[in-house]
Amino acid sequence: MSTCLEPIRGEELLFLPLAAVPWYFAGERLLVVIDPRLAEDFGPFFSDSPILIVPEGEKAKSWDSLSLLFEDFLRLGVDRSWKVLAVGGGTVSDLAGFAAHLWMRGLSFSCAPTTLLAMVDASLGGKNGIDFRGYKNALGSFQRPERIFCDVTVLSSLDPVQFASGIVEAVKHAVIDGESYFSFLEALLADGGGAEAFSHKACHPESLKKLVTESQRIKTGIVDADPLEKGGRRVLNLGHSFGHALELETGLPHGYAVSLGMALALRYSLSKGFISQGEASRVLRLLEGFGLPINLSILADGALRSRVASSLYMDKKREGAAMNFVLPRGIGRVEVAKVPVEELRRFLEEAWR
């Protein structure tokens, strides 16, 4: 059993049809946490276990949802012999992982991610948590799940925006890792219909499996080297400094905001001569091909630019007057540098032109 005494042990990744996951826990006391939309389709797979339904989307990550889960744990007499399984996207696993970590100082926790974002990012690395008074992920802990069960066939029911939220993280992983994964993603784009007509529904399940495997390998490798985010893990923030600020100030979907954040980081690196035009264009073409926005004209609005710049000052990655900013230097080359926030603000004033 994973307990808080071993919060940063790496997870075991398994590709398994979702319908077969209950068999994995045969004979054990399993609690399933799921949202209402997914409960309709996937709940029946888990008919032998109590199913705890939490609100759909970001509303799941609230103090009230956490408290209601604990009420259910109490009602069911959950003790440390129980195992918790989150079935769903990143919101469900963030909430359920946090609840599992807190209850009786730590229950065994696993997840069956059903969004691409959760498969390639949210279920990995052990960060969990909830929002508090509008402050995203204000409360949380590090506890890596014991097992992650992936069934890529469930991704076919994702809408394109939700798929894009996951693919942007995969592109980020490829920029961090290098040519081999990057060119695989270019081939995946072609398999899915090419830049003009990409649809993830046209991608072969084996290609999606490889996508998830490679992204998991890259993220897990980075997290293993820096489980508590003291240094090296910061490269995973590529595109997220501007991305989070844009998400907050415009309400754009997370994946779209991170794509624009990557476009800004590339533009900033270009302005410094850190990356060649050819490599920057290749990354931008890939993002755009997957249907992600790269056009910075949204920043023509001066009031928005000011709000985005103010948000940068509130960023967790800021230390004093400087930001730990991830600079793309090429495909397979990124670097975390301390960049004055004031310099980033001035850059924003010009970047959209």
Ligand X SMILES: NC(=O)c1ccc[n+]([C@@H]2O[C@H](COP(=O)([O-])OP(=O)(O)OC[C@H]3O[C@@H](n4cnc5c(N)ncnc54)[C@H](O)[C@@H]3O)[C@@H](O)[C@H]2O)c1
Residues in contact with ligand X by CB under 6 A are: 35, 37-38, 56-58, 61, 88-92, 94, 114-115, 117-118, 121-122, 125, 127-128, 137, 154, 157-158, 162, 165
Q: Of the two residues 152 and 286, which places its CB atom closer to ligand X in the complex? A: 152
Q: What is the DSSP string of 179-241?
A: HHHHHHHHHHHHHTTHHHH--GGGS-HHHHHHHHHHHHHHHHHHHHH-TT-SSGGGGGGTTHH
CA distance 118 to 110: 13
3-state DSSP assignment of residue 35 = coil
Q: Are 176 and 235 in contact (CB under 8 A)?
A: yes
Cβ proximity to ligand X: between 130 and 275 the closer is: 130
**Residue closer to ligand X (CB basis): 57 or 194:** 57
55, 39 in Cβ contact below 8 A? no
- How many other CB atoms sit within 10 Å of the CB of residue 48? 10
CA distance 102 to 271: 46
CB 74 within 8 A of CB 111: no
CB atoms within 10 A of CB 22: 17
For the bound state, the minimum distance from the C-beta of residue 114 to ligand X, rounded and expressed in Å, comes to: 4
Is residue 178 within 8 A of residue 332, CB to CB? The reply is yes
CB of 327 to ligand X, least distance (A): 21
CB of 180 to ligand X, least distance (A): 24
Give the nearest distance from C-beta 330 to ligand X in angstroms. Answer: 25
- HSE-up (13 A, CA, CB side) for residue 169: 25
Q: How far is the CB of 62 from ligand X (least distance, A)?
A: 11
d(CA 350, CA 243): 17
Q: At what angle are helices 160-177 and 254-271 packed, to 10 degrees?
A: 30
C-alpha–C-alpha distance, residues 15 and 170, integer Å = 18
Instruction: Sort strands 82-88 and 29-34 into parallel, antiparallel or unpaired.
Output: parallel
Measured from the CB atom, the residue of 128 and 269 that comes closer to ligand X is 128
CA of 267: how far to CAs of 125, 274, 330, in Å? 29, 10, 12
Q: How far is the CB of 46 from ligand X (least distance, A)?
A: 15
Q: Which is nearer to ligand X, 89 or 106 (CB)?
A: 89
CB of 306 to ligand X, least distance (A): 25
- Considering the complex, state which of residue 11 and residue 279 has its C-beta at the smaller distance from ligand X: 11
Task: Select 94 or 214, whichever has its Cβ closest to ligand X.
Answer: 94
- CB-nearer residue toward ligand X: 146 or 279: 146
Beta carbon of residue 273, minimum distance to ligand X (angstroms, whole number): 32
Q: Pick the closer one to ligand X by CB: 125 or 328.
A: 125
Cα–Cα distance, 278 to 136 (Å, whole number): 36
CB of 313 to ligand X, least distance (A): 21
DSSP codes joined into one string, 230-245: SSGGGGGGTTHHHHHH
